[in-house]
Chains A and B, each alone.
Chain A
Amino acid sequence: MKNYDVVVIGGGPGGYVAAIRCGQLGLATALVDEWLGADGKPALGGTCLNVGCIPSKALLDSSHHYHNLEHLLPAHGISIKGASMDVATMQSRKNKVVQTMNRGVAALLKKNKVEAYTGHGRLQAGNRVAIAIHGGNEEVVTAKSVIIASGSVPIDIPVAPVDGRSIVDNAGALAFDKVPTRLGVIGAGVIGLELGSVWNRLGSEVVILEALEDFLPAADNQIAREALKALTKQGLDIQLGARVTGAKVTKNGVNVKYESKEGAKALEVERLVVAVGRRANTTGLADADLGLATDDAGRIQVDDRCRTSIDGVYAIGDVVKGPMLAHKASEEGIAVAELIAGHAAHIDHRTVPWVIYTHPEIAWVGDTEQQLKGRSVAYRSGSFPYRALGRAHGSGETDGFIKILADAKTDEILGVHIFGAQASELIAEAVTAMVFRASSEDLARTIHAHPTLSEAMHEAALAVDGRAIHM
């Protein structure tokens, strides 16, 4: 029986990163992942790489370029007649991107001497992992430590069961072979908004049905308000307080029934995407009598160092509590690898950035205004709009703003919120600042290149002190 220092179950951004770090630290490591690509070959990278972050960004970019043809380029003096979008080409490009990344992860694992098994891994007593190898037998390996990174799966709702053709989840929505005439989306969360945006830009009439009354409750209220306005203006029909009660597949598509403030309603769509959230994936993960404790949301219970109720077994990423974000999983993976190797490591959830890849993008780190108010924390706020930036006018993307929240007494930055182009990149500066417990004055006294969008960060910091220059 093969013996390893570490066996990682799950090859997504949590698992493969943990495995690579273990390899770097000289630990004999194996990784077990069951994902197979469309070609039946191992497709490492998990949800993120295969049906999440990577393919969605590829489609978002493709659709964004197409959208710009009509909406942005004419102002630059460019007019295109007879432009068309070939969905097959877009999809094949996306698939190629995914495949390149799959291969990349495989190469990285090889480089770091991690042995990769393709199959389903199940934790057994004595930290053994039984691997049901695809197209092969079961192999049992032993490990001094096990890192569970089995990730998450989409939540099913009984009123709209996914059939993979007319009613789909995120994976299906990324793979449409043609632009639906009308697309229904259940859930106005990150996934629903991003996927809705893709097809809306390509010509779909998109209706997003959100059961909650609030739009993006996890984001700062001001950002959520501005985002709702912008997305609605782009053509997304976002209905809040709309709870789906039934979805029936018909010859032409799906007949959706829902309860709204105005009463019961019905909607005919060609396809329906279910994007109501994700839940921890613990199916077939461990022998039942092992006592792997889970919480009431079905996630594996861990302490602040990702240790589970079983000695020597850790869990990271979407399968444990905390934001379901790839980078959070990766950081946990690295921290656990380092802990196993005997180093000190810590995970700081306070400085995990959030990004939504609509256009304009949304990104934030730290506390929202409503959270600070709720905790009665005295704070100062400084905002700066993109339309006061030279660079934004130059590119023609003037929607959005950056807002910085700082402690009223110590001036320490408590939260930074960005709505606007390149928010996903601009947020990195804020994260670094918060990691070093910088004050808004520190950012205000840091030179930012001109002309850039990052100057909005600088001016927002000045605005905290009421002394923005360009406003």
Chain B
Amino acid sequence: MLVDVKVPLLAESIPDATLLDWKKGPGEAVARDEILLELETDKVVLEVPAPQAGVLSEVLKNTGDIALSEEVLARIDTEAAASAAAKGADGGAEAVPAGQAADEPTGSDALSPAVQRLVAEHDLDASAITGTGKGGRLIKGDVLAYLDANKPAPPPAAKPTPPPAAKPAAPPPVSGERGERRESMSRLRMRIAERLVEAQQTAAILTTFNEVDMQPVMALRKRYKDQFEKTHGVRLGFMSFFAKAAVQALERFPAVNAYIEGNDTVYHDYQDIGVAVGSPRGLVVPILRDVAQMSFADIEATIAEYGAKARDGTLTVEEMSGGTFTISNGGVFGSLLSTPILNPPQSAILGMHKTQERPIVVDGEIVVRPMMYLALSYDHRIVDGREAVLFLVTIKEAIEDPARLLLGV
């Protein structure tokens, strides 16, 4: 990343400054806060420190030139390999924070030897790992636990998808002095990155939460699962309940099932719900078409079929295109609560999470119930807060009392 070295903000009474000698030349390594040059003004000589460590890559103005307030004088490449770093002796000993957007020396400066080794070997983003050592430091055990929990997922098959829980392997945060590895992003990864950022920047994404008592559905499922399987030849899971509940809510709150195209809002009379499934290549989102017309058995069978195709890598692009709403389940990875990102151009996504027994209050008594947190991320441009909340409540109520699905209330 190129960082500008600018003339400091000059006081109003000072019109410009003259560059005195550069202390470092192009290609030389510089440490953060190292003084690069001095500027002479009418009133005072100003020092210009390097805003970040790296290699001085371009020098735009030279000794004797006049520069204005905040003018760019040079650029520092923060990611440049520091073969020159060994030469930059005074700055060289310090850790050089590498190519990340944040320039704060975070934990990367305070990584212990074992942690550094693991981070470098596995290409990890140290700032993504929770530290449990003294003062929140990362200890070896933290990194080992992180590696255990997150086998890095390769990019998904075709369509870019919202990642509810999978963590993509990040570029190494450690400095060039200690071995840096540079890898070009695959086109697919770049495309996903583009779409995710676009989603974030285009939509006004908010997330609303609720919780659902899974006990009624679990009881229902337990009661009928054998018979269901015998009758329909497919296992009864929970997704069919959630899909049907989503349909009911989407019918009730059409804005959630709509999207913005140019200056128009496009509503749909049908609900095509994308269901995130895991595959060896990562998370993919095949679409259940016209879910309102599907029976529970149809939904379960289709999901099972998609699951098998995902495993074999035989899902087609058509099967993964379109969709008016998405359901993703971070619970399989253990996520308790999350804020899913929208799957553009859709306006909302339902996040399911881990069902966990928790004490709750029912009729003034504390009882233990299998609870699941639900998250609905939505585009506030077309879904307003009230709608989003009621939408989620509708789903909750339908799951907690599946008779509502039967009766359409």
Contacts and interface: CB of A to CB of B under 8 A. Distances in A.
Given A435-B134, A437-B133, A442 B141 contact: no
Nearest to A445: B113
B121 to A, nearest CB: 12
A444 B113 CA distance: 9
A436 B113 contact: no
B144 interface: yes
Interface in A423-463: 435-439, 441-442, 444-446
B117 A412 contact: no
B112 A438 contact: yes
B117 A439 contact: no
Contacts of A233: none
Contact of A436 (B112, B117, B144, B145): B112
Contacts of B139: 410, 412, 436-439
Contacts of B133: 436-437
Given A412-B141, A438-B112, A445-B113, 16 more contacts: A411-B141, A412-B139, A412-B140, A436-B133, A436-B134, A436-B137, A436-B139, A437-B133, A437-B139, A439-B112, A439-B114, A439-B139, A441-B117, A441-B140, A442-B115, A445-B114
11 contacts: A409-B144, A411-B144, A412-B139, A436-B112, A436-B137, A437-B133, A437-B139, A438-B140, A441-B114, A441-B140, A444-B113
B113 to A, nearest CB: 3
Contacts of B112: 436, 438-439, 442
B113 A410 contact: no
Interface in A116-140: none
A115 interface: no
Contacts of A411: 114, 140-141, 144
Interface string B243-274: 00000000000000000000000000000000
Nearest to A406: B140
Nearest to B145: A410
Contacts of B115: 442
8 tightest A-B CB contacts, nearest first: A410-B141, A445-B113, A439-B140, A441-B114, A437-B133, A437-B139, A442-B114, A442-B112
A438 B134 CA distance: 10
Interface string B108-137: 000011110100000000000000111001
**Residue among A409, A411, A442 with the highest chain B CB neighbour number at 10 A:** A442
A410 B141 CA distance: 4
A437 B140 CA distance: 9
Interface string A398-426: 00000000010111100000000000000
Interface residues of B, number: 14
Contacts of B140: 410-412, 438-439, 441-442
Contacts of B117: 441, 445
B385 to A, nearest CB: 40
A135 to B, nearest CB: 49
| Contact count band on A | 10 to 19
Nearest to B142: A410
B204 to A, nearest CB: 41
**Residue among A409, A436, A439, A445 with the highest chain B CB neighbour number at 10 A:** A439
Contacts of A444: 113
Main SS at interface, chain B: helix
A442 B112 CA distance: 6
Contacts of B141: 407, 409-412, 437, 439
Contacts of B137: 436-437
Contacts of A412: 139-141
Contacts of B134: 435-437
Contacts of A407: 141
A435 B137 CA distance: 12
Contacts of A409: 141, 144
Nearest to A410: B141
Contact of A441 (B113, B132, B145): B113
**Residue among B114, B115, B134, B145 with the highest chain A CB neighbour number at 10 A:** B114
A438 B137 CA distance: 10
Contacts of A436: 112, 133-134, 137, 139
Contacts of A438: 112, 114, 139-140
A435 B114 CA distance: 16
**Residue among A410, A435, A444, A445 with the highest chain B CB neighbour number at 10 A:** A410
A366 to B, nearest CB: 15
A412 B113 CA distance: 13
Nearest to B113: A445
A266 to B, nearest CB: 56
A412 B137 CA distance: 13
Contacts of A439: 112, 114, 139-141
A437 B139 CA distance: 7
A407 B139 CA distance: 13
Contacts of A441: 113-114, 117, 140
A436 B145 CA distance: 18
A436 B141 CA distance: 12
A254 B262 CA distance: 106
Interface string B124-167: 00000000111001011100110000000000000000000000
A232 to B, nearest CB: 40
A445 B112 CA distance: 9
A436 B132 CA distance: 10
A410 B138 CA distance: 12
B127 to A, nearest CB: 19
